[in-house]
């Protein structure tokens, strides 16, 4: 048989060769690092036998799919260790996630971080014992009986929900057996460095009507040095936690009276307004027109848009005059109504309507997280209406705009393309046209991208932009979604050059994604030390004693005249204390004034970044800071 490898080369192998043997034939190093394979698009194990021609990628820990295999096996090691130590624990589920793995357990005794040491010790024993992971299959009746005998009610419930005729597989390692579809590593000994991170409550199946289980999170790596690096990053992330910094820098707060609904304080509003003003200015330059649509719209609209069928459980509802209304979870239907409000010609297209629209989505209380996961947020939406000939150029225009924005903040990013999901609207032909248009624009932009099969929106395929922050974490922010469905549902039309009515094509897109979340990301990216153009307070004037107050006030007023955000700290405190306070508030510049500065008519400049810079004339400082603000220097 002929196997096409990742680099495109073709090689002949005997039928029945395993993925591992193919990896070894390529190189010993690859065989040592291999954790699984991807054959004709399907993730397979190293011991999988290949029986036909096809495309094969050897997966290592460097691949996302490879990490998932590695972390999935790690979750089974965790469950085995917990069952050894705590006999009465019932098993729920234990998947790999974006950063590691977790396992959910039902036990009356709460786990504590003190238990982690004993669990980790047992996990390391299981790794050392190097058990093979052996897969076997049972009928539905046998599987239910098997798990009932093991007294695992959650596994029985999962098996009962599996459709008739579907394969039910288990994995055995030593004395431990778990219901699992796989894939897995060949043995527990392949996991090298493991660490448990935290324990949290989690409802069974994510439903708050169900029992609260205990979820233990962990991480593992092929090398201890990789684990050490990750733990260092986690420590750094704790220092940068936007919830902690938001409180210390007085940016925002969240209160029990409104869980998931953030309150922005004056300094937080400064950052927010700067981001929104920048957004508006750059959109006007590129031919966008801003709109504002209502927060509450009637039920019929959401049925027409498709959100009722696909998104109802995430929406809030209210009654007005005996009719059901929904608080909008998305801005798109409102933009449809704006488009429909007048007759459109092909000469009006492309029409780019943008909106900073407040939306509300019901999130479970357990997943709320500062500004990163909230129930009300502002999307920097835009809906672009166009003719079929304009689609590719419009996608490219959005890609270039996203690139411009992210470079301003110093973000690197990568791109992912998500294709048609199972639960979707529209014809195969429409989806193929939409997907090909996105691919073509990405190629024109010379942007490499990863494909996520089946993870598009219900109305169209999408491009997602994942930012990389200063400590290496990634955040999905920008997105471009091509939509043939909503113009059809809302019967949008334009008059073409032939005088006939035609259906426009539409793009949904965001750049920040959510203003609130983007502020959270920026806070952690900069560790609260915002660049001067974004900093809520750009300068603090610090008189050394009361006799310098009058001159300090003049310096303060001069800066205000130039719209520089400045504070005057004229408290009766020692200068060292005032400097430390300004440093804790991460203010970019301090201007210290004492006898010499009053006498010479200048200021002593101290920079957050560079420390004490010595005397400088006020005019020169104003020129310097205004240039820094204008160029949005980082």
Distance, in Å, from the CA atom of 501 to the CA atom of 485, rounded to the nearest integer, reads: 17
Query: How many Å apart are CA 103 and CA 118, to the nearest integer?
Result: 16
329-350 b/e (C-beta count within 10 Å ≥ 16 → b): bbbbbbbbebbeeeebebeebb
pLDDT at 130: 96
* pLDDT at residue number 460: 86
Residue 483: the pLDDT is 86
Place of tokens 């005998």: 149
Q: Which run of H or E residues covers position 603?
A: strand 602-607
Q: What is the pLDDT of residues 404-461, one digit of tens each?
A: 999 999 999 999 999 998 888 788 888 888 899 999 999 999 999 999 888 888 778 9
Residue 366 has pLDDT above 90, yes or no: no
**pLDDT reading at 306 higher than 90:** no
Q: In the chain, pLDDT over 70 holds for what percent of residues?
A: 100
Alpha helices in 458-586 (DSSP H): 485-489, 515-525, 549-561, 575-584
Q: What letter does residue 287 receive in the DSSP assignment?
A: T
Whether 76 and 94 have beta carbons less than 8 Å apart is answered as: yes
Yes or no: say if 30 and 20 are a contact pair by the CB < 8 Å rule: no
Compute the half-sphere exposure of residue 463: CA atoms within 13 Å on the CB side of its CA.
29
Residue (of 369, 623, 402) closest to 521 by Cα position: 369
Q: What is the DSSP letter of 261?
A: -
Per-residue pLDDT at 289 = 98
Among residues of the chain, what percentage have pLDDT more than 90?
87
181 pLDDT above the threshold of 80: yes
Print the SS3 string covering 103-145.
Answer: EEEECCCCCCCCHHHHHHHHHHHHHHHCCECEEEEECHHHHHH
Asked about 381 being catalytic, the answer comes back as yes
Structure tokens, 361: 């989505």
Q: What is the pLDDT of residues 216-241, one digit of tens each?
A: 999 999 999 999 999 999 999 899 99
In this prediction, residues 541-548 reach a mean pLDDT of: 96
The pLDDT of residue 156 = 96
Options 38, 283, 361, 606, the catalytic residue: 361
Q: Which residues contact 16 (CB under 8 A, 6 or more apart)?
A: 49, 50, 51
Is 90 exceeded by the pLDDT of residue 262?
yes
- Report pLDDT for 113: 82
């998932």: which residue's tokens? 68
Q: Residue 18 in contact with residue 48, Cβ under 8 Å?
A: yes
Contact 428, 439 (CB under 8 A): no
Would you place residue 477 in the very low, low, confident or very high pLDDT band (cuts 50, 70, 90)? very high
The whole-number average pLDDT for the span 204-220 is 92
Residue 114 has pLDDT above 90, yes or no: no
The pLDDT of residue 456: 87
With tokens 């430390």, the residue in question is 580
358: Cβ contacts below 8 Å, ≥ 6 apart: 295, 376, 377, 378
Q: Retrieve residue 337's tokens.
A: 């109504």
CA distance 487 to 485: 6
What integer is the mean pLDDT of 294-319? 91
Active site residue 390: no
Looking at residue 485, what is its pLDDT?
83
Stronger pLDDT, 208 or 580, i.e. the higher one: 580
135 is catalytic: no
Question: Residue 7 pLDDT > 90, yes or no?
Answer: no
Catalytic residue among 267, 307, 328, 383: 383
Distance from C-alpha of 552 to C-alpha of 550, rounded to nearest angstrom: 5
**Rounded to whole angstroms, how far apart are CA atoms 495 and 349?**
10
Instruction: For the full predicted model, state whether its pTM sits above 0.95.
Output: no
Say if CB 476 and CB 464 are below 8 A apart. Answer: yes
pLDDT of residue 98: 87
Q: What is the pLDDT, as a whole number, of residue 446?
A: 93
pLDDT, position 307: 85
Q: Is 31 helix (H, G, I), strand (E, B) or coil?
A: helix
Helix (H, G, I), strand (E, B) or coil at 101: strand
Dihedral, CA atoms, 517, 509, 65, 10, nearest 10 degrees? -150
Query: Cα(556)–Cα(362) distance, rounded to whole angstroms?
Result: 46
Calpha distance 615→592 (Å, rounded): 9
Is residue 175 scored above 80 in pLDDT?
A: yes
pLDDT of 556 reads 97
User: What confidence tier does 35 reach under pLDDT thresholds 50, 70, 90?
Assistant: very high
Please list, in sequence order, all residues whose beta carbon lies within 8 angstroms of the beta carbon of residue 35, skipping any fewer than 6 positions away.
46, 59, 60, 61, 66, 69, 70, 185, 190
Q: Is 379 a catalytic residue?
A: yes
Cβ count near 165 (within 10 Å): 6
Pairing mode of beta strands 316-320, 323-327? antiparallel
pLDDT tens digits along 493-522: 999 999 999 999 999 999 999 999 999 999
User: Residue 541 to residues 291, 528, 606: CA-CA distances in angstroms?
Assistant: 41, 20, 10
Annotation says 462 is catalytic: yes
Residue among 155, 240, 462, 586 flagged as catalytic: 462
| Nearest-10 Cα torsion for 485, 488, 489, 494 | 130
Is-contact 569 578, C-beta < 8 A?
A: yes
Backbone angles phi, psi at 615, to 5 degrees: -70, 145
Three-state secondary structure call for residue 433: helix
Q: CA 58 → CA 27, 34, 73, 109, 444, distances in Å? A: 11, 6, 18, 42, 29
Report pLDDT for 449.
93
Tokens matching residue 342: 């007048």
Residue with more model confidence, 7 or 357:
357
Alpha carbon distance 592, 604 (integer Å): 5
The Cα–Cα gap between 338 and 490 comes to: 11
Active-site residue among 80, 173, 214, 379? 379
Q: Which residue has the tokens 């094509």?
A: 505
With a cut of 90, say whether residue 133 has pLDDT above it.
Answer: yes
Catalytic residue, from 508, 540, 548, 578: name it. 508
Q: Mind listing the pLDDT tens digit for each residue in 80-108?
A: 999 999 989 999 999 999 889 999 999 98
Question: What's the whole-number mean pLDDT along residues 114-131?
Answer: 96
Using CA atoms, how far residue 254 sits from 112, 359, 400, 519, 527, in Å, is 27, 17, 35, 15, 20
Mean per-residue pLDDT, 588-607? 96
Average pLDDT on 556-561 reads 97
Active-site residue, from 104, 178, 381, 569? 381
pLDDT confidence of residue 213: 95
- DSSP for 345-387, written as a single string: BGGG-SEEEEEEEEEE----GGG-BTTTB-SEEEEEEEEEEE-
Structural tokens at position 13? 């192998």
Q: Mean of the pLDDT values across residues 166-193?
A: 95
CA–CA distance from 275 to each of 103, 251, 284, 466, 563 (Å)? Answer: 40, 14, 14, 19, 17
């Amino acid at each position: 048989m002929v196997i096409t490898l990742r680099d495109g080369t073709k090689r002949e192998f005997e039928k029945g060769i395993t993925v591992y043997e193919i990896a070894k034939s390529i190189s010993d190093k690859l065989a040592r690092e291999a954790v699984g394979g991807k054959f004709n698009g399907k993730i397979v194990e190293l011991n999988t036998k290949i029986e036909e021609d096809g495309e094969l990628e050897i997966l290592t820990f460097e691949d996302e799919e490879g990490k998932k295999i590695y972390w999935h096996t790690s979750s089974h090691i965790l469950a085995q260790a917990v069952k050894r130590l705590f006999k009465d624990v019932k098993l729920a589920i234990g998947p790999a996630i974006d950063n590691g793995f977790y396992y959910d357990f039902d036990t009356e005794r709460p786990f504590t971080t003190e238990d982690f040491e004993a669990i980790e010790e047992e996990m390391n024993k299981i790794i050392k014992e190097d058990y093979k992971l052996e897969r076997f299959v049972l009928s539905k009746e046998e599987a239910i009986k098997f798990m009932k005998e093991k007294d695992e009610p959650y596994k029985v419930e999962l098996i009962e929900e599996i459709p008739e005729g579907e394969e039910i597989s288990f994995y055995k390692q030593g004395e431990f057996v778990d219901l699992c579809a796989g894939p897995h590593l060949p043995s527990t000994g392949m996991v090298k460095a493991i660490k448990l991170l935290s324990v949290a409550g989690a409802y069974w199946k994510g439903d708050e009507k169900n029992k609260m289980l205990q979820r233990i999170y962990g991480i593992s790596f092929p090398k201890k040095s990789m684990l050490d690096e990750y733990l260092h990053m986690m420590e750094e992330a704790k220092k940068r936690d936007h919830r902690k910094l938001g409180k210390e820098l007085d940016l925002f707060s969240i209160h029990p009276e409104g869980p998931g609904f953030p309150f922005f304080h004056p300094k937080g509003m400064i950052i927010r307004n700067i981001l929104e003003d920048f957004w508006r200015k750059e959109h006007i330059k590129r031919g966008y027109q801003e709109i504002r649509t209502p927060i509450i719209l009637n039920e019929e609209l959401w049925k027409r848009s498709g959100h009722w069928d696909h998104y109802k459980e995430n929406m809030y509802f209210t009654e007005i005059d005996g009719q059901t209304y929904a608080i909008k979870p998305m801005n798109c239907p409102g933009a449809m109504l704006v488009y429909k409000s007048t007759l459109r010609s092909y000469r009006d297209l492309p029409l780019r309507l943008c909106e900073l629209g407040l939306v509300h989505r019901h999130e479970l209380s357990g997943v709320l997280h500062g500004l990163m996961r909230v129930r009300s947020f502002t999307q920097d939406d835009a809906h672009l209406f166009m003719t079929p000939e304009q689609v590719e150029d419009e996608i490219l225009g959005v890609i270039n705009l996203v690139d411009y924005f992210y470079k301003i903040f110093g973000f690197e990013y990568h791109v992912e393309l998500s294709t048609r999901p199972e639960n979707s609207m529209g014809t195969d032909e429409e989806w193929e046209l939409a997907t090909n248009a996105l691919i073509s624009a990405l190629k024109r932009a010379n942007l490499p991208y990863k494909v996520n099969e089946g993870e598009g929106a219900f109305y169209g395929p999408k491009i997602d932009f994942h930012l990389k922050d200063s400590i290496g974490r990634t955040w999905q922010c920008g997105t471009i979604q091509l939509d043939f469905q909503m113009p059809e549902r809302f019967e949008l039309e334009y008059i073409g050059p032939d005088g006939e009515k035609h259906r426009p094509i539409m793009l949904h897109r965001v750049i920040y994604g959510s203003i609130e979340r983007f502020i959270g990301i920026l806070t952690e990216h900069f560790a609260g030390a915002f660049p001067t153009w974004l900093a809520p307070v750009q300068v603090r004037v610090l008189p050394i004693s009361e006799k310098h107050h009058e001159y300090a006030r003049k310096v303060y007023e001069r800066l205000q005249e130039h719209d520089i955000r400045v504070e005057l700290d004229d408290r009766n405190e020692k200068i060292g204390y005032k400097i430390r306070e300004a440093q804790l508030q991460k203010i970019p510049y301090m201007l210290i004034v004492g006898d010499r500065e009053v006498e010479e008519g200048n200021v002593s400049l101290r920079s957050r970044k560079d420390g004490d810079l010595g005397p400088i004339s006020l005019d020169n400082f104003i020129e310097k800071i205004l240039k820094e603000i204008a160029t949005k220097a980082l």
